[in-house]
Amino acid sequence: MLRDFSSRVVLRTLLIGATLIVVMYMFTQPNMIFASILLCLVVVAQLAEMIRFVSQTNRKLTRFLESIKYSDFVSGFAADHKLGKSFKDLNESINDVMEAFRKARSEKEESWQYLDTVVQQVRTGILSFDSDGKIQLINNLAKKYLGTNTIKNIEELKTINPRLYETIQITESGKGELYKANNDIQLSVQCTHLRIRGVDIKLLTMQNIQGELQKQEAEAWQNLTRVLRHEIMNSITPISSLTSTLREILEHDLKKENENYVLNDETTSDLKEGLSTIENRSKGLIKFIDAYREYTSLPKPTITTVNLKNLIEKVSNLMKEELKRTSIEFSYACSSDYLTIQVDEEMIEQVLINLLKNAKEALQETKQPKLNVLAHYQDNAVKIEITDNGPGIIKEAIENIFVPFYTTKRTGSGIGLSLSRQIMQLHGGSLTVVSEPEVQTTFTLRF
């Protein structure tokens, strides 16, 4: 194509050059001025033809590039021989490129339609808007949660649903907020920030977790009721039985002598023993009720900035005296002198001390017992890990150890671990456990 185009340009250039030479020669000859002027006009015409010839190809390429710029892939380019066979090949190549663009745009539109259908069908509300508040993407479920079918800017939500608007605005990237609309809808709002083609986008997902919360609440109440029933029945049953037995003893052995009621020594001893048992079981029931009250009346945390290393050293020093009376090899470490956490220091101390005491009790019958506390930063979170090499926790028990009043210890109240987890939840953190029986058990506080 270029060879044919070049030969045509060279031919026209040579003709223009030859004509100019003739014109210059004729200007030197007498009586040929008029003919020279006519030849000048011929040169002008040749130049115009030259420009037209070159511009025709440029116009075609310009129109092609403009079609790409404005995504106009409908128009085609004629495949003819006006400029030679090479330009027919050019036209056909341009048409092939346009067809490729048309196909790519069609596939893109199909992909967009597919994505839009998926977005509309998912059971999660999806909403995105730019820094100016202009809505970029919204599905039908999100419209339902917002309470409107038509919304173009997130600022419109101020008048439609100001509480949800405030929740959306305060939701930070990578974090979540809860919003309760009514008894049937409680939304978990999650946020992610994106940057697309130089535009900042805030992407929100809204999921109704009311059903799941109700299910978990029902399970929690069932577990709590089961434990309460078990503990109360353990106290009430012997009290009721002993009361009945004592009444029978009195009716059978109580005798009247000289206007006074008397009991023999054996009966008196039985009564004392029975009343003592009733007293002990009553005290146990009161202790259980006090533990329940402690679990259900935690104060709100007073948040301060706490240096992690100082916290670990403080708790470890408190436990050292107790651990010195044992054969436990105790160690602690913090990966940095500058790590800090935002917590209620006294509450977290209570959690750590509780976990260390549990580990100490678990290691009583372990040979070469070891207990370690490690504080470090990992996976975008501050963690405190308490590890021991005691007997561990069996799989059946590990699923219940955080249930209030569930305990595997004879003298335990069963609220220590559940209370510790509740404290961590109040701080927006978590308390988890991983155990391999007879090898290692690790409780992890994650902030």
**Structural domain range at position 175:** 122-208
Are residues 435 and 317 located together in one domain of the fold? yes
Does the residue 176 lie in any domain? yes
Are residues 423 and 386 located together in one domain of the fold? yes
Select from 280, 296, 312 the last residue of a domain: 296
Are residues 172 and 264 located together in one domain of the fold? no
Are residues 328 and 372 located together in one domain of the fold? yes
Are residues 285 and 395 located together in one domain of the fold? no
Select from 265, 296, 327 the last residue of a domain: 296
pLDDT tens series, the chain, 447 aa: 445 556 666 777 777 777 777 777 776 766 666 666 777 777 777 777 777 766 666 666 676 666 666 666 566 555 544 555 556 666 677 677 777 777 877 777 787 787 778 778 788 888 999 988 898 888 888 888 888 888 899 998 888 888 888 988 888 887 788 888 776 788 888 888 888 888 888 988 888 887 777 677 667 667 666 666 666 666 666 666 667 776 776 666 666 555 565 666 676 776 777 777 777 767 766 766 666 666 566 678 889 999 999 999 988 888 887 787 888 898 999 998 889 999 989 889 888 988 998 888 888 888 889 999 999 998 888 999 999 998 888 887 777 777 766 666 555 556 678 778 888 888 888 999 998 888 899 999 999
Residue with tokens 């335990």: 412
What is the per-residue pLDDT for 290?
Answer: 67
The CB-side HSE value for 112 (13 A sphere, CA atoms) comes to 7
Listed residue (289, 361, 284) closest to 322, CA to CA = 361
Does the residue 114 lie in any domain? no
Are residues 16 and 84 located together in one domain of the fold? yes
Does the residue 196 lie in any domain? yes
CA-to-CA distance for 417 and 431, rounded, in angstroms? 9
Are residues 313 and 438 located together in one domain of the fold? yes
Does the residue 110 lie in any domain? no
Are residues 180 and 219 located together in one domain of the fold? no
The CB-side HSE value for 204 (13 A sphere, CA atoms) comes to 33
Q: Please, is 416 exposed, middle or buried when counting C-beta atoms within 10 Å of its C-beta (0-12, 13-18, 19+)?
A: buried
Contact between 370 and 390 under an 8 Å Cβ cutoff? The reply is no
Strands 381-388, 440-446: pairing is antiparallel
Does the residue 32 lie in any domain? yes
Residue with tokens 């961590």: 424
Tell me, what CATH number does 424's domain have?
3.30.565.10
Does the residue 167 lie in any domain? yes
DSSP H/E element including 410: none
Are residues 376 and 431 located together in one domain of the fold? yes
Does the residue 283 lie in any domain? yes
What is the per-residue pLDDT for 87?
Answer: 61
Q: Where does 123-282 show beta strands of DSSP type E?
A: 125-130, 135-138, 176-180, 186-196, 199-208, 255-257, 260-262
Are residues 417 and 312 located together in one domain of the fold? yes
The DSSP 8-state label assigned to residue 154 in this structure reads G
CA-to-CA distance for 75 and 60, rounded, in angstroms? 12
What is the per-residue pLDDT for 279?
Answer: 72
Tell me, what CATH number does 149's domain have?
3.30.450.20
- The CA-based angle 407-413-418, given to 5 degrees, is 70
CA-to-CA distance for 418 and 420, rounded, in angstroms? 5
Select from 270, 296, 322 the last residue of a domain: 296
What is the CA 392 to chain-centroid distance, rounded?
31
Are residues 93 and 196 located together in one domain of the fold? no
Does the residue 337 lie in any domain? yes
What is the per-residue pLDDT for 259?
Answer: 57
Are residues 316 and 432 located together in one domain of the fold? yes
What is the per-residue pLDDT for 264?
Answer: 66
**For the chain, how many structural domains are there in total?**
4
What is the per-residue pLDDT for 291?
Answer: 61
CA-to-CA distance for 369 and 113, rounded, in angstroms? 63
Q: Please provide the DSSP assignment of 80-145 as one string.
A: -STT-HHHHHHHHHHHHHHHHHHHHHHHHHHHHHHHHHHHHHSSSEEEEEETT-BEEEE-HHHHHH
